Amino acid sequence: MTRPTEHEVLAAVLQIRCGALQVLAWQRARPPDSGRWALPGGLLGDDEDVERSVRRQLAEKVDVREVTHVEQIAVFSRPDRVPGTRRIATAFLGLVPSDADPAVPADTAWHPLAAPPATALEKAAFDHAAIVDDARDRLRAKLSYTNLGFALAPREFTISALRDLYAAALGHPVSATNLQRVLTRRRVLEPTGAMAPPGPAGGRPAALFRFTERTLRVTDAFAVLRPPGEGARTAVP
């Protein structure tokens, strides 16, 4: 007998929080996989396309409305990925800027992502850890060759603050000077003309910058942001 098939959308929502790349997940209260952490999402509505559905699910189920970028990353269709009715999942990457602090339900929390090769989300339900891994890899790749940093950063920021965001997302150190040079050459950044307030230690105020665009654009199709000392294509050593 043919199994019925359902179509769900899931979102790996990532944000730099407390200096670390983190993912949003909710704890399942019912079987199957009760007690495990799951990505937000749900069944595709009859009158929805997949992107409209995932944005609705995020707003309704975990009250996340400050998503600055959403993109489809993969379709997960292994017949045994969930027990019972066969369920095909269209998975998305969602990004929230670092200065946002969305209110989430009591059963939902942010989880720091472990470095590879460990799983990105411990005690994850079904195949959700693999989805998180794919989302993190997509983010890191696109930070190399697009202007996607706009989706992680506040509207205005210092170069050192932007460096910290890139380092947390990429998982390796980044030079603030070279980051500014590379992104300025790509016409991704522009100064606001304003200065950041001095920190507790005083010192010279730092200039504030912003991204020239807040929509995705390819800036260098062959660039790879590698750690210091790992080859000629290292754009930000």
CA dihedral 221, 226, 230, 235 (to 10 degrees): 50
- What pLDDT does 202 receive? 66
For residue 122, is pLDDT > 80? no
Comparing 5-129 with 146-237, is the CATH topology the same? no
The CATH class for the domain spanning 146-237 reads mainly alpha
11-64 per-position pLDDT tens digit: 999 999 999 999 999 999 999 999 999 999 999 999 999 999 999 988 887 777
Q: Which fold has domain 5-129?
A: Nucleoside Triphosphate Pyrophosphohydrolase (3.90.79)
Contacts for 165 with CB less than 8 Å, ≥ 6 apart: 16, 98, 149, 152, 153, 157
DSSP-assigned states of every residue in 190-207:
EEEEEEPPPBTTB-SPPE
- What pLDDT does 198 receive? 79
Q: What is the pTM of this model?
A: 0.91
Q: Are 213 and 147 in contact (CB under 8 A)?
A: yes
Structure-block tokens of residue 29: 């209260």
**CA-CA distance, 91 to 50, in Å (whole number)?**
9
**CA-CA distance, 71 to 200, in Å (whole number)?**
39
For the chain, which residues make up each domain, given as ranges?
Answer: 5-129, 146-237
Residue 68's nearest CA partner among 211, 188, 183 is 211
- What pLDDT does 160 receive? 95
**CA-CA distance, 163 to 179, in Å (whole number)?**
7
